[in-house]
A and B are shown apart, each in its own frame.
Chain A
Amino acid sequence: MGKRNRNVGIIGIGQTEYSSHKEDQNQPEMVNQAVRRGLADAGIGLDQVDCIIHGNMELFEMVHQPDMWHVLGSGAYGKEQLRITTGGTTGATLVCAADNLVASGVYDVVMAIGLEKLQEGNTTGGITNMADPLWFRNLQTGALSGTAASKVIDEFGADRSKRAAMNYRITMDKHACLNPRAHRRLGLEYDQIESLMASSPRLVGELQLIHMCSQSDGACVMIFASEEKAKALSDKPVWIRDHITVHREESYNIYGLEVPETTHHYAAQALFKRNGIPNPLEYFDVFEMYDPSAWWGLDWIREFLLLEDDEHLKLMEEGALKMDGKLPLNPSGGVTASNPIGATAMLRAAEAALQVRGDAGGHQIQKDVKHALASGFGGTMWTVLIMLEKELGWQEVDHG
């Protein structure tokens, strides 16, 4: 990130409930519910919003120009509006774009809307049908992949790895059960580890149905304001400290005999280095991670927190990632619980901000949350990583 022209605070958050389908609402109505809740949370009216940015994955619902239809629900008619569509990271990219727009001084107040109604399309079909046309379209199986499981099992053995992945899934479900908005709240118990390993249908390799994220309907709204406006409008703005977006070429060539650094690891080391954070595990009070499956989530703890060897498995096994643990992971239940794709990565930042505010409700972490981390993930491996702070006055970003 370049030098920050001015600080940006999150002043409003609005979410719908997440569900496998919402046949009682059309898309504009669903957007409207989140917009109304976001504006009410910020305590402002639409007239105080300078610009609206809209994001979903239109190929999943197969509706062109969704931002135009959704004007009926967003109130964007006659306002500045931009649309962003970056796959799984759409919601996180919306946060970055809103931050950049406000920090730059172009707008004082920006409202970002992320949404998806996956029930109205075919996600796996959408992903598969739109993969690289010259070669990989022939191979793609949507977002399903057993590669993360293979990688973890190769390194740590089948028994320990499979238990850790199921432990991860059950922990996420326990968190989701505390969040009334979460889509899948299955009521899983830790004594079900073995029975779930035996009974859950296999999708690809050791990736089982229970490990995989849901397909959800829902919308999320976040409202961003300049420091001056944020302080005037909000009692407890949550500050955006820094964010990073890392791309690489298509990911089909990352499974050779030598494996390149992941975009997650690259993003984390670059972001923490320039912010002077040598030990993210100690620094952050909560981490909302985009975890498309329990296997990926398990593997990525190590990437994002810059851990080594089996430190991430130990965190899982020792319960350090539970609500009351050292670094609570996805108190909201994460993506295996709720996954309205265009909103999913925004939910990570929104839920992290609610934790900082102390307003998460049933899934609020009990200890004080000052520093929060939120990640976004996109289809063929790219990364957005966002840092939020409760107080201004952090060490300045090193632009070196």
Chain B
Amino acid sequence: MGEYDGVKVENIFNTMEKRFISLGALGVDAVIGYKITGDHGGTWKLTISDGTMDLQVVQGALEGCTTEIIADAEAFVGVNVGKFSVADAMAGGRLSIEGDATVIGNILPKIFLPFIEDIAGGEQGEELICLSCVPTIRQRFATGPVMGKWLKGLGEKKFYANRCPKCGRTQTPPREICADCRVRCTEFAQVGPGGTVTLIDKVMFASPDPLTGKVRSTPYAMIFMVLDGCTPGDSFSHELKRSDIDRIQSGMKVRPVWAEERTGGYNDLLYFEIDQ
């Protein structure tokens, strides 16, 4: 089955010239080879040269390509009609890229309109208009007295947990009540500053930092730990020192590293580091 919803490999290639955006290709020089296997497969060579394109059907081996895209026919069409992403196709072992992979994400979307099946029998519609803007919204959240005590404590390099008067568990950060027992927790205890690691989440996916708008650099590790003096079920989490990522294991002792200037917030703690 070399097609998806009636769209064949040849439909993608036959419409390339029509979908080509000459302006988007100004200053671009790339030679992209396509090796499509399976039904309706074949080999194509696309040459982009400063605002022009040239597509050739190739008999035999591809030569002189800066990027080669190897895919089965169904996956190739699926990606082009938006049925699934390049990342999905790659993850499934259906599509691979040799040579300069940045062409896929950075160049091709700028020089070709997306393939849209001509279901209405009319002309290709205009491209979606995209407006980009970066809004900045100033928000202020009240901490309440309980979280306020915790945050103030950080400024003094101290961790204040609170304790449930009924079940005895500690809570870090402290919470207004014990949700299990539904009673107020008014007794505070200084805990830590060291702790024992219980779980490590090593993050490779670069997500946006909501407080700066910048993409977080990876890898980083978020660690769960039980601070010294806390009850065993009370886990606390923060970031691990990046140079410790390869060494960290569950059960290890860690200690906090504090910021020079502290303002009573999350960033008063730079990170935790291995303490053994």
Contacts and interface: CB of A to CB of B under 8 A. Distances in A.
Q: Do A and B come from one complex?
A: yes
A308 B165 CA distance: 33
A109 to B, nearest CB: 34
B198 interface: yes
B92 interface: yes
A210 B88 CA distance: 7
Interface residues of A, number: 57
Nearest to B235: A256
Contact of A256 (B89, B234, B238): B234
B184 interface: no
A135 B266 contact: yes
B233 A146 contact: no
B74 interface: yes
Interface stretch (A92-100, A191-199, A284-292): A191-199
A141 B205 contact: yes
Given A256-B233, A257-B196, A257-B198, A188 B92 contact: yes
Given A19-B83, A203-B204, A154 B250 contact: yes
A117 to B, nearest CB: 13
B200 A205 contact: yes
B131 interface: no
Interface in A336-389: none
A187 B92 contact: yes
Nearest to B87: A209
Interface string B107-146: 0000000101001000000001000000000010101000
A124 interface: yes
Among A21, A141, A259, find the residue whose CB has the most chain B CB atoms closer than 10 A: A141
B92 A186 contact: yes
Interface in B221-242: 222, 224, 226, 232-239
A259 B200 CA distance: 15
Nearest to A122: B208
A81 interface: no
A400 interface: no
Interface string A203-223: 111001110001000000000
Interface stretch (B24-32, B56-64, B171-179): B171-179
Q: Per DSSP, are chain A's interface residues mostly helix, strand or loop, or mixed?
A: loop
A188 B94 CA distance: 9
A162 interface: no
Contacts of B172: 253
A142 B235 contact: no
A142 B207 contact: yes
B94 A21 contact: no
B94 A186 contact: yes
Contacts of B211: 137-138
A260 interface: yes
A255 B84 contact: no
Interface in B173-212: 173, 175, 179, 196, 198-205, 207-208, 210-211
Nearest to B230: A256
Contacts of B83: 19-20, 183
A309 interface: no
A249 B235 contact: no
Interface in B129-167: 139, 141, 143, 147, 151
A255 B235 contact: yes
Contact of B207 (A23, A128, A134): A128
A252 interface: yes
Interface in A216-256: 248-249, 252-256
Among A173, A201, A248, find the residue whose CB has the most chain B CB atoms closer than 10 A: A201
A195 B92 CA distance: 9
A252 B235 contact: yes
A184 interface: yes
Interface in A115-164: 124-125, 128-129, 131, 133-135, 137-142, 144-147, 150-151, 154
Among B114, B151, B202, B250, find the residue whose CB has the most chain A CB atoms closer than 10 A: B202
B147 A134 contact: yes
Contacts of B87: 201, 209
Nearest to A129: B210
Contacts of A133: 139, 141
Given A19-B83, A183-B84, A256-B234, A199 B205 contact: no
Contact of A20 (B84, B128, B173): B84
B168 interface: no
A24 B226 CA distance: 51
A200 interface: yes
A258 interface: yes
A137 B210 contact: yes
Given A133-B141, A150-B200, A204-B204, A256 B93 contact: no
Nearest to A259: B233
B15 interface: no
B263 interface: no
A200 B91 contact: yes
Contacts of B267: 138
B181 to A, nearest CB: 12
9 contacts: A23-B82, A134-B173, A138-B267, A141-B207, A187-B74, A201-B87, A252-B235, A256-B224, A258-B232
Interface of B: 74, 82-85, 87-94, 114, 116, 119, 128, 139, 141, 143, 147, 151, 171-173, 175, 179, 196, 198-205, 207-208, 210-211, 222, 224, 226, 232-239, 250, 266-267
For the complex of A and B, list the 5 residue pairs with the smallest distance between their C-beta atoms, beginning with the closest. Answer: A256-B235, A186-B92, A257-B232, A255-B224, A129-B210
